[in-house]
Homo-oligomer: A and B are copies of this chain.
Amino acid sequence: MDDVKVFAPNTISNVGCGYDVLGFPLEGLGDEVHVSKRNDSGLRIKEILGADLPLNSEKNVATIAIQALLKSLGEDGGFDVSITKSISPGSGLGSSACSSVAAVYAVNELMGRPFTKSELIEFAMEGERASSGAAHADNVAPSMLGGFTVVRSYDPLDVFQIPFPEELLAVVIFPNLEVRTEFAKKILPKKISLEDGVQQWGNMAGLISGLMGNDMRRIGKSMMDSVAEPVRKVLIPHYDKVKDAAMTAGAIGFNISGSGPTTFALSDDMNLAKNIRSACREVYQRNGIEVFSLISKINPEGAHVI
């Protein structure tokens, strides 16, 4: 194989109480990365569609991630890379992660699969390090593996999937504003109170057991966040009003997707999901903010060849 095209989905991370730990991918929304072998060495980005990003392969997260993979094998290319992005960085939907994931997945295919999907995660995390200053895995892991994904530990990396209710739907609300991940990370407190911590891991126990036990009420009650939501929501205009609108319209739970400004609600019913979407859109429209929205199942597959 000299040529492969890979899709990797956008992701919703944190999911309330799971800051830096939990995430899931969407269906239909994600990046396509096309990689072709060349006879010479080095990486070259031929084009990037859908976002205004540098073609310099030393500055692009996808080629930085590929470089990490190649380095671990003692190889040096050469590959041509074309990227079609679904959404610009700064959305809170793991835009940089899905480029990195698709890129390392594609190169792994072209090299005869020296690595498993799980092993590829660490290379994609190098793209995250370049993009946000920290090699976090809560977008990369679900985009790669699919399903609800837990990053239990970073050192050593321990990632796994957990069962979830098949009927779960995410209502994704993306106001047309950019929040810089780097900044959204910086405003987080370096220390949290023990009480806030206890709430967070209590909710985590509730969320995981709710997901595994198909208990929608428990999932909803557990989608609380004592850590990131209180400080990050101030970067998202009308956050409380949108959350109120979603909950009133019957959402199981509502929170910020990653570092925002995208927010999401969970539902287990398509009609309710449509009402939730309308209610949230209406808040933004009333305030003159353009909004993109989407209703998606949880993507069970993650990255794959197309």
Binding site for B on A (CB under 8 A): 17-22, 150-153, 158, 160, 162-163, 188-194, 196-209, 212-213, 218, 221-222, 227
Indicate whether A202 sits within 8 Å of B160 (C-beta atoms), given known contacts A192-B191, A209-B208: no
B200 touches A201 (CB 8 A): yes
Q: What is the distance, in angstroms, from A160's C-beta to the closest C-beta of chain B?
A: 7
A21 touches B205 (CB 8 A): yes
Residues of B within 8 Å of A22, CB to CB, are 205
B19 touches A206 (CB 8 A): no
Residues of B within 8 Å of A17, CB to CB, are 201
**Nearest residue, chain B, Cβ from A150:** B205
Indicate whether A153 sits within 8 Å of B203 (C-beta atoms), given known contacts A162-B209, A212-B212: yes
Q: What is the distance, in angstroms, from A29's C-beta to the closest C-beta of chain B?
A: 25
Bound complex: CA of A192 vs CA of B199, how far in Å?
A: 13
A203 touches B19 (CB 8 A): no
Bound complex: CA of A208 vs CA of B205, how far in Å?
A: 6
29 contacts across the A-B interface (CB closer than 8 A): A18-B205, A19-B197, A150-B202, A150-B205, A150-B206, A150-B209, A151-B202, A152-B203, A152-B205, A152-B221, A153-B203, A153-B206, A158-B206, A160-B209, A162-B209, A162-B213, A190-B194, A191-B192, A191-B193, A192-B194, A194-B227, A197-B200, A197-B227, A200-B201, A201-B201, A204-B204, A204-B205, A205-B207, A208-B212
